[in-house]
Amino acid sequence: MTSVSMTINGPAPMLLAYFMNAAIDQECEKYIKENGLEKQVESKITSIYKNKGVARPKYQGKLPEGNNGLGLYLLGVTGDEVLENDIYQKIKVETLTKVRGTVQADILKEDQAQNTCIFSTEFALRMMGDVQEYFIDNGVRNFYSVSISGYHIAEAGANPISQLAFTLANGFTYVEYYLSRGMDINEFGPNLSFFFSNGVDPEYAVIGRVARRLWAKAMKNKYEANKRAQMLKYHIQTSGRSLHAQEIDFNDIRTTLQALYAIYDNCNSLHTNAYDEAITTPTEESVRRAMAIQLIINKELGLARNENPIQGAFIIEELTDLVEEAVLTEFDRITERGGVLGAMETMYQRSKIQEESLHYETLKHTGEYPIIGVNTFLNKKGSPTVIPEEVIRATEEEKKYQITMLDELHKGNKGTSAEILKKVQEAAIQNENIFELLMDAAKVCSLGEITNGLFEVGGQYRRNM
């Protein structure tokens, strides 16, 4: 069954709708091929595009090795256009209960750190709630509706304590909001996941265990959630901020140590950064090396086969208590400012992240915080920046094709798209579930069309100054 992780925030509900439809269409494609319906379906697709008077989109380039092209057979159409309605609906229901993945969608950390907000915070929060409500109503149990993210808070400059405190506080804000909409904590709790950065500071050795301890206590004692909802699932990505353009080969060493922290602390999943991400999109060679880091730790390092081998050591137990205490102190500061949303109004989180970022950069530039090959133990040639041989960019031909196909999509679906967009806007005004209709809109509308339509009813994001 299709699985995906999407680190998209501003247009997350729309892109999730595109993905869910793609997953359903993949299952439709399997059904068509298993039942020998290819000729019949091909005839329908030809007829559909003849009536629209536009060209059918085609996949550009070669398929990656090992990819069978599943999903491309129905490119340009959706399963409900070529299959009987009862068959399509059955496939849709079954797919939604099996599909796996994570959509980031964390609008609070966007305002606080990453800046890919497009809608007003209130409207974006409402759409997050609509997605979660849709998941509950349609039995989507294996897909995380939000990845509550500290990674971008850390990347923007926050220290480990602020990253953890702000992220957990954001998580509890979502819990309170979903509860206020009448959702059951035991139904939405398991659809929440977390995403942290791992640097090389000692606090990162315990970030996961402190997060799990605080989350479980609150979910059990305050919200009376069941055991499944008490379990905090988290992903670790090694620190992008710790990668440097100077002596980029050293980046793999830092990433290895950060991966070791994550694996010893029992993260649920791990992403190891490629060494050349300080400069460009990773190349195939650098990604293979990055993957090898966690494979070698997991498959070759004997101590990693043990469940958290450093658990019980004085430093780990002491750090756990100290980090927990520091996070609770930060919770008090947020509470004094009216909770997460109240603190955001005075830009408390952004200001704190910026102060901590400035502190780190100052220490880096003075050399008080040593970074090997960057500000100390420099190469005899100075501090060289290595430009990789391969830099990946889209060709002009690829860009032009995408623009042309977008125009064709707009022309071919002109009447239908306007009609469904009106329904989406009406649902937003009447306080109905927007995501329910986005699933239909994503079949005929472009991302830009849906976004502009929602701007009119939900407001466009404007930062406080």
Residue 136 CB partners (closer than 8 Å, separation 6+): 183, 184, 187, 188
279 phi and psi, to 5 degrees?
Answer: -125, -40
431-to-2, 129, 130, 180, 455 alpha-carbon distances in Å: 31, 12, 10, 14, 15
Instruction: Give the model's confidence band at 14: pLDDT under 50 very low, under 70 low, under 90 confident, else very high.
Output: very high
> What pLDDT, on the 0 to 100 scale, is given for residue 456?
95
Using an 8 Å Cβ cutoff, are 327 and 210 in contact?
A: yes
> What pLDDT, on the 0 to 100 scale, is given for residue 115?
84
Q: How far is CA 400 from the centre of its chain?
A: 28
Instruction: Give the model's confidence band at 307: pLDDT under 50 very low, under 70 low, under 90 confident, else very high.
Output: confident
**Residue at 2: amino acid letter:** T
Question: Whole-number mean pLDDT of the chain?
Answer: 93
> What pLDDT, on the 0 to 100 scale, is given for residue 5?
55
50-99 pLDDT tens trace: 999 999 998 888 888 888 899 899 999 999 999 999 999 999 999 999 99
What gap in Å lies between CA 340 and CA 219, rounded to an integer? 18
> What pLDDT, on the 0 to 100 scale, is given for residue 236?
97
Least confident of 43-57, 158-172, 288-302, 376-390: 376-390
Query: Which domains, and CATH codes, for the chain?
Result: 104-366 (3.20.20.240), 399-458 (no CATH)
Using an 8 Å Cβ cutoff, are 252 and 275 in contact?
A: yes
Instruction: Give the model's confidence band at 390: pLDDT under 50 very low, under 70 low, under 90 confident, else very high.
Output: low
> What pLDDT, on the 0 to 100 scale, is given for residue 463?
72
What gap in Å lies between CA 236 and CA 207, rounded to an integer? 10
> What pLDDT, on the 0 to 100 scale, is given for residue 270?
96
pLDDT, average across residues 364-371: 94
pLDDT, average across residues 122-129: 95
Containing 101, the helix (H) or strand (E) segment is strand 100-103
The residue written with tokens 């206590």 in the block is 217
The side-by-side arrangement of strands in the sheet containing 269-271 is 146-149, 192-198, 234-238, 269-271
Instruction: Give the model's confidence band at 425: pLDDT under 50 very low, under 70 low, under 90 confident, else very high.
Output: very high
> What pLDDT, on the 0 to 100 scale, is given for residue 106?
95
220-274 pLDDT tens trace: 999 999 999 999 999 999 999 999 988 898 999 999 999 999 999 999 999 999 9
Using an 8 Å Cβ cutoff, are 416 and 406 in contact?
A: no
> What pLDDT, on the 0 to 100 scale, is given for residue 421?
97
What gap in Å lies between CA 197 and CA 161, rounded to an integer? 12
Closest CA to 44 of 9, 72, 79, 11: 79
156-177 pLDDT tens trace: 999 999 999 999 999 999 999 9
Closest CA to 197 of 283, 276, 318, 113: 113
Is this model's pTM higher than 0.85 or not? yes
